[in-house]
Structure 1
Amino acid sequence: MLQRLGERMTAYNLPRVMRLRGPLRAEALQRAFEAVIARHAILRTRFLERDGLPMAVAEPQVAFTLGQTDVSALAPQAREEAIAREVQATLHHVFDLAVAPAMVARLLKRGEDDHVLVLCLHHIVSDAWSNPVFAADLSTAYGLALRQAGPVQLPPLRLQYADHAVRQRETLARGGFDRALAHWNAQLGPEVPVLALPTDAPRPAMPSFRGTSIDFALEPALEAALRQFCRAERCTPFVVLFAAWQLLLARFARQSEFAVGVPHAGRQDEEVFGLIGFFVNTHVYRARLKPEQTLRALCRQIRSDALAAMSHPDLPLDLLLAQRNERRDPTRSPLFQVLFGVQMGDLPALAFDDVTVEFVEQGDVNAKFDLSMNFQVGSARIGGRLAYNTDLFEASTARRLVRACVAMLEAIVRAPDQFVGAVGLADEDDLRRLAAWGLGKPAPVPVGASALTGSSFVPVHEHVALHARRHPQATALVQEDDALTWSVLDRRVDELARRLRDRGIGADARVGLAFDRSIPMVVAMLGVLRAGAAFVPLDPALPAERLAFQLRDSGAVLVIRDAVGDEVGDGGDDGDPAWAFGVPTMRLPAGDHGDDTDRARSPRGATATSTASATATDTVIPTAVHPDQAAYLIYTSGSTGRPKGVVVSHGALGNYLDGVLHRLDIDDRLSSMAMVSTVAADLGHTVLFGALRAGLTLHLISAARAFDPDAFAEVMRRESIDVLKITPSHLLALLGAREAADALPRHRLVLGGEATTWALLSRIQALRPALRVFNHYGPTETTVGTLTQEAATADRSAATLPVRPSSKRTAVSMYCD
């Protein structure tokens, strides 16, 4: 039993606080409580454990004392403080279930005709349905106690809770739950995804069940619209309210499938309607939301699920849990982490003869689940209460969820034929706040102004020429045992640019590049840019059909390929690939064809090719490049899976490099960057163009090494790599190297493409404490990435390592898709 496992557990307490005004007789109230206990055997029941098995023993009589405290003589402030202490002590009473009754009550006297009654029952003997039953019996017994002396007797019950329990055991013994079990397992499927709600704080290893709640009511106009929609759809308010709750959870967690617990009264037989006891059962609904589904269709789906549930209502939740193989997590409730309930009818009234009773709501609750939403659908109003675990959520988040739930309900009843995927989580307040956060007034790079220096605009490919003049013998590129100095790289880029111009390729032309990650790839990119054209990276590993689409869609007029090897199927004798479909191809010459070269061993072992300065007649006169001119066209998968081409301008690329190099704090102390990602995606552009812009050595690590943990660690150690960009999952695999620390760069690690967990970050920090780690994110349409966050200054309350703008020229707006 959970109560025995947690000696101080109060999560299953059911508290009520009432303000009583009028001539109350405390001794009559005492006798009224005794009468209710005598009538309901469940209140005289002790719960024991014998030989490892739970047992319930109903006693013929039990002692009960209504606690009484008189605080009327205290000063007003002291009186209220004393009442608050007594209320909290009663509400958080720790029950010993081996002693009956599992109920405590205390009467606090504020004045002559002014009292506070605090009542707390353990959930094992009561439920929500029991509240009006208890209230009615206590009211009747109090009236009798006023009119007679001695013990009060209420009419005996024909059936007790124990009789119901015996019937349930008999049903289980004869296999009566088999059909219900089959239904619920089929409805839930073999495995139910955990609802991964984004929390304001890390989930504690041991739940405290601390919580509080927010009460709210629907506006009359919305309430009327809800009732009208229910009449039109022939459904109950439960269906529409539950649809709004599912929709909110799906948007909040960005998850389309999850489970929700829904309490069911568990009183199918009318003869148990008047019993106090724990009859309630919890049904587990599996939410399945589809973006293309209309809100009306979602309601109809939930109505169908609810009707099926009502056909199989009796299966105990513990029996369902016992028959399933869900992995247990001590930090979460099994199978479902959120609750939803609807109570129909007005709240039960309690009358003590001439004494008026007012229920006093308590904010603090026992939060057995992450979130619990309950609605009370009365004759004149619809009220709601969101209870939340305060270990996980801040009050501001809870208030936002309430607003969002109401907004979801508005969407359903006022525009039921819109799609689920079109309903956003952000309300007007959220959008205003997000707009304010994103106001950075981005400054476009004007013609004639540099994004970096304020001098004339210098595109990234011309920085290569600058580095070649300033540091001609420094190493620019390294690939395995080959390396190029800046001077040779610049000359090769010039040669290719000249050949392209001779073919008539210049401004606005697009050139496909079919290369693996290699030195020739970089030469080809820079040569196309220097010719004034835009490059289109084509990954040779992609299927021929996809390459053909990208080539056709981009409008490329030429394909440049490596000097050796054939990436995908050849065509005719000219060696053109079949996917080129008549687009001319050109092989990039291997090696260096000049007579003025010599080779020298670089300090770390690669052979660097260098050259004497080229003459003025050999140099290509740079083509003037406008910041708005296309630098490259790159393909993403697109939201539908169809490749989507994105054009990135020279100005956007320069702006990105300006911001990201500043955020990464790239300076003269750093000398090298490493690229491990595919050339056909822009994840690696941070280091590819970052190294070319900053004048650092770029190491192009082969695919064979990039996926071999030990080989990768060896090259990172040998080459003393300073900066690496990589996806978290790729890095996690590489940290399986025998010398895991060697797989990390010396100074800067940039993670992107996926969420970075705190667990991975902790491991990185343990291996290299001085390493600066950055999280980098942004869609391709905004040029590689627009958001960067250093881990050392990140908000640890976020679910994963967060991000922020990389540059003052960047404005960020957030929208729910």
Structure 2
Amino acid sequence: MQENSPLSTEVSPEETEETFELTTAQQGMWYGQLVDPDSPKCNIGECIEIRGDLDEGLLAAALDRAVALCDSLNLRIVTRDGTVRQRVVRPSVPRTGLLRPVDLSGTDDPTAAAERYMAADMATVDRLDAPHHHYALLRLAPQLHYWYVRFHHIAIDGLGGALFTRTVADLYTRAARGEDLDAVELPPAPLRDLVAGETAYRASDQYEADRAYWTGKFADLAAGHGTHQAAGHVTDPAGRHLTDPAGAGDVSDGRDGTALIRRRTDTPTPDELSATPGGLHTRETLPFAVFDDLRRLAAGHRTTWSAVFVSAVAAYVARVTGNQDVTVGLASNGRHGGLRHIVGMTSNVLPLRLTVTGEMTVGALVRAVAAEMRGALRHRRFSREQLARELRMTDAAARLSDIVVNIMGYNYDLDLAGIPAPSRLLSLGPVDDLSLFVSERAEGKDPLIGFDTNPELYRAEDVRLHQRAVVSFLSALAGADADVLLRDLPFLDGAGAGALLAGGRGTELPAETAGSTLPEAFRAQVRRTPDAPAVVDGAVTLSYQELAGSADELSETLNGWGVGAEDGIGVLVGRSAALVSATLGVVGAGAAYVPMDAAWPAERLDRVAEVANVRALVVDAAHADRPWVRETAATLPVIVLDDHGGVLRGAPPWRGVLPTVAHGGRLAYVMFTSGSTGLPKGVGV
């Protein structure tokens, strides 16, 4: 370990009996800091606003006493022979003066000065063999103070932080009533009990049951048995992660993950966001009306409002990425009831694996999410890191989900001897991609919703845009009837939707594709990366070479039926790998792609076929036996595709040959609108 490492100190042999293991969550923080030792990403911070006649000396004394009583704030992380352990080290004389007074009342802008102070301190990287916490009382005015606290996440999680600040508030209130703080004793809460409880859990039948539950959920993602797409991500031909809000993406910068929308680093942070080296953070209140709708929808499905909130996030991720297999991380404190009073670090992220389609109703999604949450919470003590090891997953895939939802069932706001003290969370620790939290808060106060993002993946306006989009979509889903289809939920207003889509323009196409047609550009990509994954559809993954093979087979089949340039080809195929193959196959044959919807009445299908001069029909097996398709087969060739897009039935006696050139000026596809007269109108492109 390098001399100035913030991570640990060696411990002498005679001291080892005083040490004990780290919790699994602490180990995760340890290794996260080890990978990036100079990063402040593991800091968590909070600002408590105090308006009133605060006794500064009394608050300082209450904080000193609370720290003295808390094992986690007297920790040393130590190593011996490569093993990482911890011990509680209390000085013989309790430390005092831990609360640093900072008078900013004489500055030109005390509020701005306070924000700068906190941002600068949040960038601090403490040695873990020294006290890894900091407290300051920022005086902005005689009746206004900010009580600022910062911890390293290896010592305290969100629940632990709330327990600690509440203890300080309780001690302050007792002291204000005249009690002697030195004589105050609190219920025993030794950190060793937290570690012992986890050790006992790993040797229990419950651990094995939890292990079976989670490995069963993700068995198809085990190394060598499939590929995992983190929530919101698809891959480009080179295997890098991309994002896809409505068809455009963002390429990784060489790290192991990417943002939901395009990363930019040349834009300053707007005033309404706070930024630390560990992330971008934004907070806003959620109107009571929206929260009431969440509760109403939850009551109708006999579940909790948190299940409805997670449903909205899952539907949002599915909408902006186009993925149906969505995994949303649910933050959990990982404690059972008997250990919830102990200040420590046991947080976990439970990966909720969901199937979300536009054809699902709001009610169906809420029921599915509620069931998934119930199962996950019954098995919440099994760590995400352990699951990744069981699945032999590494690097970014080991996160299983990049979008994390934190439902805060505890109120951070405090009361200091009658002085209300609302809390503002500054950072919740490391953020891989995007993290959302919602807090119900005290009665009479609007709930709070917040967004934390990785600053290396997001620009500041992206965060604001996501916040606006999520709140808008959440409001729409919460206020919808249970039988409304997800695809029919409004998604931002026109300006907001345009901004979201504009953020996903992706990278510039390779120079050799400039001016080329779609078939030419696709074939060039096949030559560059034939074995890279091109389409992922549930259990079906097609490489570029495989996709080209099925598309070419369809092109040759169409040409064998005499299909020529700009002839319309009706395509009645569900969202699947086969649809991608069908689109490429039709355009590759020189024909015009004419999308059709199985939900249309027969009269509309007939009208579209007539207007677009449809010469053949391409369907998947799910639609092959529909009455309209069977009737059409009497007059037109009907080609049935399998799940991979290969020709299953309907091939001609002999196949044609692929066109040598597809002219860029030819008709590529025909889309239909309802038309002002009620008749479908075609628009050729």
What range describes the TM-score normalised by the shorter chain of this pair?
A: 0.5 to 0.7
Q: Give the distance between the partners of 1:245 and 1:57, measured in 2 at CA.
A: 40
The alpha carbon displacement at 1:183 in A equals: 0.5
1:4 aligns with 2:69: no
**Unaligned ranges ≥5, structure 1:** 438-513, 539-549, 551-627, 646-677, 694-777, 784-809, 813-817
| Partner Cα separation in structure 1 for residue 611 and residue 363 of structure 2 | 47
Q: Structure 2 vs 1, CA of residues 405 and 355 (structure 1 numbering), >3 Å: closer, same or farther?
A: closer
Residue of structure 1 equivalent to 2:390: 323
Whether contact under 8 Å (1:141, 1:153) holds in the other structure is no
Shift of 1:82: 4.0
Q: Aligned to 1:228, which of 275, 296, 316?
A: 296
% of aligned pairs identical?
17
1:418 counterpart = 2:484: yes
3-state SS, counterpart of residue 221 of structure 1: helix
Q: How far apart in 1 are the matches of 2:430 and 2:70?
A: 28
Deviation at 1:139, TM superposition (A): 1.8
Q: Is the 8 A contact 1:209 1:366 kept in 2?
A: no
SS at match of 2:415: coil
8 Å CA contact 1:20–1:114 kept in 2: the answer is yes
**Alpha-carbon distance in structure 2 between the residues aligned to 1:367 and 1:257:** 25
For structure 2, the residue ranges without an aligned partner over 5 or more in a row are 1-29, 222-227, 234-242, 257-275, 504-552, 571-581, 583-609, 630-654, 673-682
Work out whether 1:391 is the aligned partner of 2:423: no
1:158 to 169, 185, 188: 188
Q: Is residue 2:331 matched to residue 1:295?
A: no
User: CA separation in 2, counterparts of 1:229 and 1:312?
Assistant: 26
Amino acid at match of 2:198: Q
Q: TM-score, normalised by structure 1?
A: 0.52
Aligned equivalent of 1:193: 229
**Aligned pair in 2 of structure 1 residues 24, 337: CA closer, same or farther (>3 Å)?**
same
TM-fit CA distance, 1:238: 1.2
CA 1:408–1:189 in 2, change beyond 3 Å: closer, same or farther? farther
Could you say which residue in structure 1 is the equivalent of 2:7? Answer: none
- For 2:230, the aligned partner's letter is V
Is structure 2 residue 399 aligned with structure 1 residue 334? yes
Q: Is the 8 A contact 2:38 2:125 kept in 1?
A: yes
Write the deviation string for residues 641-683 of structure 1: whole angstroms up to 9, x where unpaired: 66999xxxxxxxxxxxxxxxxxxxxxxxxxxxxxxxx9789xx
| Counterpart Cα distance in 2 of 1:158 and 1:173 | 25
Distance in structure 2 (CA, Å) of the matches to 1:315 and 1:6: 26
Distance 2:439 2:88 in 1: 34
Shift of 1:117: 2.1
Equivalent positions of 1:497-516 (< 5 A) are none
Pick from 344, 349, 370: which aligns with 2:414? 349
SS class of match (1:368) = coil
SS at match of 1:107: strand
**Pairing 1:565-580 to 2, within 5 Å after superposition:** none
Equivalent position of 1:203 in the other structure = 252
Q: Is the 8 A contact 2:563 2:615 kept in 1?
A: no
Alpha-carbon distance, 1:436 to partner: 13
What SS class does the counterpart of residue 46 from structure 2 fall into? strand
Aligned to 1:264: 332
User: Does structure 1 conserve the Cα–Cα contact (< 8 Å) formed by 2:436 and 2:452?
Assistant: yes
State how far apart, in whole Å, the 1-side matches of 2:453 and 2:684 are: 34
Alpha-carbon distance in 1 for matches of 2:501, 2:112: 44
- Write the letter of the residue equivalent to 2:129: A
Kept after mapping to 2: 8 A contact 1:46/1:59 = yes
Deviation at 1:638, TM superposition (A): 7.4
Amino acid at match of 1:375: V
Say if 1:169 and 1:233 are closer, same or farther in 2 by CA, change over 3 A.
Answer: same
Aligned to 1:104, the other structure's residue is in SS state strand
Match of residue 171, structure 2, among 141, 147, 156 = 141
Change (3 A) 1:779 1:124: farther
| Structure-to-structure mapping, 1:734-773, within 5 angstroms | none
For residues 213 and 85 of structure 1, do their structure 2 counterparts lie closer, same or farther at Cα, with a shift above 3 Å needed?
Answer: closer
* Structure-1 separation of matches of 2:136 and 2:436: 29
- Counterpart among 329, 346, 355 of residue 279 in structure 1: 346
Residue type of the partner of 1:357?
Answer: A
Give the CA RMSD over aligned residues: 4.3
CA deviations 1:492-517 (Å, max 9, x no partner) are xxxxxxxxxxxxxxxxxxxxxx9998
- Which structure has the higher relative contact order (CA within 8 Å, separation 6+)? 2
Aligned partners of 1:91 and 1:119 also within 8 Å: no
Partner of 1:376: 439
**Per-residue deviation, 1:385:** 1.4
Residue in structure 1 matched with residue 126 of structure 2 by the alignment: 95
Q: Please state whether the residue corresponding to 2:393 is helix, strand or coil.
A: coil
Indicate the residue corresponding to 1:44 in structure 2.
74
Aligned 8 A contact 1:141 1:152 in 2:
no
Separation in 2, partners of 1:171, 1:108: 43
Q: What do the CA deviations read for 1:501-552 (whole angstroms, capped 9, x no partner)?
A: xxxxxxxxxxxxx9998xxx89x989xx9xxxx96899xxxxxxxxxxx9xx
Counterpart pick for 2:48 among 4, 12, 18 = 18
Go from structure 1 to structure 2 and tell me whether the alpha carbon gap of 1:167 and 1:141 turns closer, same or farther (over 3 Å shift).
same
**Which of 777, 781, 784 lines up with 2:670 in the alignment?**
781
Contact 1:212 1:390 in 2 (8 A): yes
Distance in 1, Cα, partners of 2:494 & 2:555: 48
1:197-217 deviation per Cα after TM superposition (whole angstroms, max 9, x unaligned): 448864333589742233234
Q: TM-score, normalised by structure 2?
A: 0.61
Partner Cα distance (1:122, 1:435) in 2: 37
Moved over 6 A (4+): 147-151, 431-437, 514-517, 534-538, 628-632, 638-641, 678-681
1:359 aligns with 2:417: no
Q: Which moved more, 1:11-20 or 1:83-92?
A: 83-92
Q: Distance in 2 between matches of 1:349 and 1:385?
A: 19
TM-fit CA distance, 1:97: 1.3
Select the structure of larger CA radius of gyration. Answer: 1
Name 1:566's counterpart in structure 2.
none
Per-residue Cα deviation, 1:683-707 (whole angstroms, up to 9, x for no partner): x69x44459x9xxxxxxxxxxxxxx
1:123 and 2:191 are equivalent in the alignment: no
Aligned pairs (5 A) from 1:462-541:
none
Is the 2:671–2:684 contact (alpha carbons within 8 Å) kept by the matching residues of 1?
A: no
Q: Which amino acid aligns with 2:356?
A: L
Q: 1:131 Cα shift? A: 3.5
